């Protein structure tokens, strides 16, 4: 699912004020633009005829074992998207045995 598909999916289930809030991208849209640029550069090239019978996606992130090579960052106002907001994000991270980073700022 690319960014445009995610946008369409969000617009189909969220109320217009929530879509506008998330779409405002902190008003300057710098991070949004950088994310789009980064995702455009990312290419997954399948390796043909590779033995995948023993593939293990587990890795170590910041010295902690992780089931997948990802971690989840805090989301701003996740409650706008669902009544359980950040709690659902935390549940998903826990169930997938990945990691949730913490905001340490003031």
DSSP state of 67: S
Q: Which two tokens stand for residue 89?
A: 């994000």
Give the pLDDT of residue 12: 93
Per-residue confidence at 104, pLDDT binned at 50, 70, 90? low
Per-residue confidence at 22, pLDDT binned at 50, 70, 90? confident
Residue range 39-45: average pLDDT?
79
For 43-99, how does the pLDDT look when each residue is reduced to its tens digit (9 = 90+)?
Answer: 777 777 778 788 888 998 888 888 888 888 777 788 888 889 888 888 988 898 888
Among candidate residues 78, 77, 106, the one with its CA nearest the CA of residue 92? 78
Q: Which two tokens stand for residue 38?
A: 């980064």
* Domain spans, the chain: 1-43, 47-106
Phi, psi values for residue 66, rounded to 5°? -135, 135
The span from the CA of 26 to the CA of 24, in Å, is: 6
Give the pLDDT of residue 26: 64
Per-residue confidence at 40, pLDDT binned at 50, 70, 90? confident
For 65-76, how does the pLDDT look when each residue is reduced to its tens digit (9 = 90+)?
Answer: 888 888 887 777
């Amino acid at each position: 699912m690319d960014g445009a598909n995610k946008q369409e999916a969000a617009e189909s289930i969220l109320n217009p004020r929530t879509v506008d809030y998330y779409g405002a991208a902190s008003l300057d849209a710098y991070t949004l633009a950088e994310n789009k640029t980064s995702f455009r550069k990312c290419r997954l090239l399948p390796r043909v005829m590779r033995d995948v019978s023993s593939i293990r996606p587990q890795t170590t992130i910041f010295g902690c074992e992780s089931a997948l090579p990802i971690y989840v960052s805090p989301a701003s106002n996740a409650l706008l998207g669902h009544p359980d907001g950040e709690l659902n994000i935390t549940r998903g991270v826990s169930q997938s045995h990945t990691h949730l980073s913490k905001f340490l700022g003031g």
